[in-house]
Amino acid sequence: MDIEKRIHGLKTRLDYVRDISGHKDNENVRLLAAKLAEFEERAKALPVHEVAKQFTALEDFFTFVEKKLDRELTPMDKVRIVRHPQRICLRDILENVYDNYTELGGQDEYSIDPSMLIARAYITRRVGGKVYNQPVMVIGQEKGHGQEFRNGGSVKPWGNAKAQHYMKVAQTENIPIHTYIFTPGSYPIEEPPGAAQQIARNLYEMAGLSVPIVACISEGGSGGAEAIGLADARLMLSHGYYSVISPEGAAAIEGRLRQGQRAPAELIEACAKALKITADDNRAMGYVDRVVPEPPLGARPEHYDFFKLLRQEMIRATDSVVLSVRGWNFFRMMALRSGRGDEEKRTEDIYVRWSLSAQARERLIWRRYMKFRRMSRHAYLDPRHYLDKVSGWGREAWWSVSSFFKYDFFKKHQKKFAHAVEEIGAEVQVLKDKVGAPLGKVRGLLGNGRSLDLEKAGKSLTELSCWEGGACGFLNGSGYLSPQARDDRTVTCPRADEHGCLDLWAPELFGDSAGVCAFCGHHFPMESQWYLHNVFDRESVFEFNKRIESGNPLSHEGLAKALEKAKRETGQKCSCLTFEAKVKDVRVVVAMLTANFRGGSVGAAEGEKFIRAADRARKKHYPFLAYVHGTAGIRIQEGVNGVIQMPRCTLAVRRYMEEGGLYVVLYDHNSYAGPVASFLGCSPYQFAVRSANIGFAGPGVIKETTGIDIPPDYHDAHQALSRGHIVAIWDRREIRENLYQALLTMGGRNLYYR
């Protein structure tokens, strides 16, 4: 009877091994199966004590093979491990890592989003005979061992909103947050405010959250992971993966597959490997701080030792975050550092209070900013000589100093002076009126004052007046001619069927119509150069950080060639152009994502340039405009080096805004995925040019991952407006006017926010 139970246990282990080896023909699996079958056959004939002995041997053999297999695991095997229904889930962690917990915001299927689980939990420490209960807020995706309603840990916008809400609660209560990332990615539906917009809000919230955040990654799928992943300490389970995209998704892109086609298994394996998604890879690249070792072939709910270890790691990580921003930390920090995983007792033996003082909170946010600022520096190319860099720093320091005087110091005094002048002026006016009144009366009596005016007035009504501005502003005379306008041919508006648009003559459409259909207002794509010539003041564009260049950090096979081609064709070094420019004499710093360079995808170089542009705007006290000519998302071939730009850039723009900067985002063409779900989506002033498509995932991906057929206008700017994602829609021909208006109304007099 006991044996039967144990045999069943082995069978489960065998099935598990079979599952995670996937399609691969594995002789180990066959061997185990054969051995087990053989034993079962033999056991019937054997005496009981012999059965027990032989069974133990068999179990040992199983363990031996599992260990052997563990050493041979491929990245794709690990993907299968984390997706396996037997994989530990957040509920298991709450049960086994924490001493007590209460689930918040829903239970099982009775929840606004069962795939996002939130609990208030505590850890009990006994130190020096005293008992401390340390509360934490636990937030994470729940896969629930395959429970259907958990949606595989794919969180809907409102699930992420719930997480955001309880993060704020934790901040109020001054308790740390532990997040557990168990998600293949966010559910890509655009219910208000939209998947991307909600993730951006989460990131923005976390960028300024003044309590310690410790994240633990098991399955870190792109945007969904980032929604709760911007943390002070990031742990990763050894059998987990953390990636910009699922290997299947990458394979579909690599293989240029159409919707519904399946990628061959070999390609998926290769992609999983190329993306460098394992814990060790991510540790090596510096995107996670520690790897938590799991039992062979990955942690399952029965691995109690593993939970003990995880508990130690989480406590240690929280302690060290807290201590790093505390004044009194020396000995305890040293103790923490010397502590190894196996000396688990010591971690719990040191008591660290987890609430933070006001100063420590500030330091925490600064440290978080610096932590991410330092990431991914190896992942782009900066060919500048180090002397250039030094002089660059000098210049930036000077901007900081001079803008301090200009805006902070002088401003206060200047205002006082200006107010005084105004007052005096008003006094003088009253005096003048009093003195002048009798004179006016006399003039009125004589009657010549008025008639003199009339003659003048008559002239002003019938003669040519002075007028500086011509009727045609910029659009005609910008000096830029789109290559699309050089062809004598006509094009059909894609909305002709619904709106009855006639064919449009290309030279006119891409010339003075600025790519706008004369009949229905549909916007055809225009080159990024068009904007440089038609939005900003003539010859006011000054590009900086020109030489920062997209690299190939993962030595991805196809990327090197593709980058070379993009650089050759566009003359750009990466998809992000950063420049200073003027809009009707208002100076702005602009970061522009251009769709013609690798679809405007964002990698380490783009992120770095974006951050530097935000810094420049901050130092010079200029408004900062993110102009999205188009972006397809994060450059997947850079793997996590790309994804990490989401928190990195968000931290940078948060810092800029908190110091009083005006951050405006304008979407033009298709703008999707990571960037929209982070540093673009977090602007309070996002505008879109008509016919921009904005969202998290394209229609194909939505169909693939959710099976939902979405209407053709699902991502259209008007939908984004109704969702509350953007604040207004502009006509392309009026970008310049509208931008100026936006800068004036939102920027105040000096055009800087505060």
Partner 1 sequence: MKQTDKVLVANRGEIAMRIVQACAKLGLDFVCVYTDVDHASGHVRLARKMGGDAAAVRISSYRDANELFSVADAAGATAIHPGYGFFAEDFRFARRATERRRKLTFIGPSWSVIRELGDKINTKRLARGLGVPTVPGSDRPIYDEMEAEEIAENLFAFQSEQGVEKPLVLVKASAGGGGMGIEEVHDPDAFRQVFRRIRNYAKRQFGDDGVLVEQRIMNFNHLEVQVVADRHGHVRHFGTRNCSVQSTGHQKRIEVAPGFAPGELKYSFDAARVLEEIKNHSLAIAQAACYDNVGTWEWIVTPKGDPFLMEVNTRIQVENGVSAIIARIGRREGEEVDLIAEQIRLGLGAHLDTEKDAKTGFDQEDIRLEGVGIEYRLIAEDPARGFSPWTGRIERFDFVEEPWLKVHSQVPRDEPYDIPTEYDPNLALAIVWGRTLAEAKERGLGFLDKLVLEGKDSSGGGLKSNVAFLREKTANLLEF
Partner 2 sequence: MIDVKALLEEMKASPYTMVEVATPHTGVLSLSLAPGAQVRGPLGSWKEKKGTTLATIERERNVKPIHAPTNGVVESVASDLDTAFVQAATPFCTIRHYLTKAEVLAAILKKALFLFPAPERAKYYFVPEVDKKVRASGSRAVKVRDGMELFIVSRMKRESPLAYSGPAGIIYAVYFGLADNVDAGDPLIGVCPADQLAVIQDVVNRVQAEWEEPEGNG
Contact footprint for partner 2 (CB under 8 A): 487-492, 500, 503, 505, 709, 711-712
Which C-beta is closer to partner 2: that of 11 or that of 489? 489
- Residue 471 interacting partner from partner 2, partner 1, none (CB closer than 5 to 8 Å by kind): partner 1
Give the C-alpha separation, 269 to 271, whole Å: 5
Closest distance of CB 260 from partner 2, Å: 13
Give the C-alpha separation, 625 to 683, whole Å: 10
Closest distance of CB 456 from partner 1, Å: 9
56-87 exposure pattern, b = at least 16 Cβ within 10 A, e = fewer: eebeebbeebbeebbeebebbbbbbbbbbebb
Residue type, 168: K
Closest distance of CB 490 from partner 1, Å: 6
Closest distance of CB 560 from partner 1, Å: 41
Query: Dihedral, CA atoms, 439, 442, 447, 452, nearest 10 degrees?
Result: -20
Give the C-alpha separation, 682 to 690, whole Å: 20
Q: Which residues bind partner 1 (CB under 8 A)?
A: 453-454, 457-458, 460-465, 467, 471, 488, 490, 502-503, 505, 507-508, 731, 733-734, 737
Which C-beta is closer to partner 2: that of 114 or that of 699? 699
- Residue 102 interacting partner from partner 2, partner 1, none (CB closer than 5 to 8 Å by kind): none
Give the C-alpha separation, 451 to 439, whole Å: 17
Closest distance of CB 466 from partner 1, Å: 9
- Residue 426 interacting partner from partner 2, partner 1, none (CB closer than 5 to 8 Å by kind): none
Closest distance of CB 489 from partner 2, Å: 4
- Residue 709 interacting partner from partner 1, partner 2, none (CB closer than 5 to 8 Å by kind): partner 2
Closest distance of CB 249 from partner 2, Å: 24
- Residue 722 interacting partner from partner 2, partner 1, none (CB closer than 5 to 8 Å by kind): none
The one-character DSSP state at 697 is: S
Which C-beta is closer to partner 2: that of 468 or that of 709? 709
Closest distance of CB 548 from partner 2, Å: 41
- Residue 99 interacting partner from partner 1, partner 2, none (CB closer than 5 to 8 Å by kind): none
Closest CA to 377 of 641, 179, 165: 641
Give the C-alpha separation, 422 to 235, whole Å: 60
Helix axes 157-173, 195-207, angle to 10 degrees: 20
Place of tokens 């061959």: 264
Q: Where are the beta strands (DSSP E) in 478-565?
A: 490-491, 504-505, 542-543, 549-550
Closest distance of CB 462 from partner 1, Å: 5
Contact partners, residue 542, CB within 8 Å, separation at least 6:
579, 580, 581
- Residue 461 interacting partner from partner 1, partner 2, none (CB closer than 5 to 8 Å by kind): partner 1
Asked if 612 and 603 count as a contact pair (C-beta separation under 8 A), the reply is no
Give the C-alpha separation, 7 to 12, whole Å: 9
Could you count the other beta carbons within 10 Å of the beta carbon of residue 620? 19
Contact partners, residue 273, CB within 8 Å, separation at least 6:
74, 75, 76
Give the C-alpha separation, 70 to 294, whole Å: 10
- Residue 284 interacting partner from partner 1, partner 2, none (CB closer than 5 to 8 Å by kind): none
Sign of torsion over alpha carbons 430, 431, 434, 436: negative
- Residue 541 interacting partner from partner 2, partner 1, none (CB closer than 5 to 8 Å by kind): none
Which C-beta is closer to partner 2: that of 333 or that of 491? 491
Closest CA to 514 of 667, 722, 720, 732: 732
Closest distance of CB 669 from partner 2, Å: 20
Give the C-alpha separation, 724 to 176, whole Å: 31
Which C-beta is closer to partner 1: that of 469 or that of 712? 469
Which C-beta is closer to partner 2: that of 190 or that of 580? 190
CA atoms within 13 A on the CB side of 665: 29
Which C-beta is closer to partner 2: that of 47 or that of 711? 711
- Residue 448 interacting partner from partner 2, partner 1, none (CB closer than 5 to 8 Å by kind): none
Which C-beta is closer to partner 2: that of 259 or that of 359? 259
Quote the radius of gyration of the chain (alpha carbons, Å): 32
Closest distance of CB 440 from partner 1, Å: 17
Which C-beta is closer to partner 1: that of 430 or that of 464? 464
Structure tokens at 725: 């994602």
Closest distance of CB 584 from partner 1, Å: 14
- Residue 711 interacting partner from partner 2, partner 1, none (CB closer than 5 to 8 Å by kind): partner 2
Which C-beta is closer to partner 1: that of 433 or that of 508? 508
- Residue 704 interacting partner from partner 1, partner 2, none (CB closer than 5 to 8 Å by kind): none
Peptide bond into 193 cis (omega under 30): yes
Q: Where are the beta strands (DSSP E) in 466-535?
A: 490-491, 504-505
Closest distance of CB 491 from partner 2, Å: 6
Closest distance of CB 534 from partner 1, Å: 15
Distance of CA 481 to the CA centre of its chain: 35
Q: Where are the beta strands (DSSP E) in 209-304?
A: 213-221, 233-243, 290-292
Give the C-alpha separation, 649 to 59, whole Å: 51
- Residue 712 interacting partner from partner 1, partner 2, none (CB closer than 5 to 8 Å by kind): partner 2
Give the C-alpha separation, 276 to 274, whole Å: 5
Residue type, 525: P
Which C-beta is closer to partner 1: that of 41 or that of 488? 488
Which C-beta is closer to partner 2: that of 490 or that of 750? 490
- Residue 463 interacting partner from partner 2, partner 1, none (CB closer than 5 to 8 Å by kind): partner 1
Which C-beta is closer to partner 2: that of 438 or that of 712? 712
Which C-beta is closer to partner 2: that of 440 or that of 500? 500
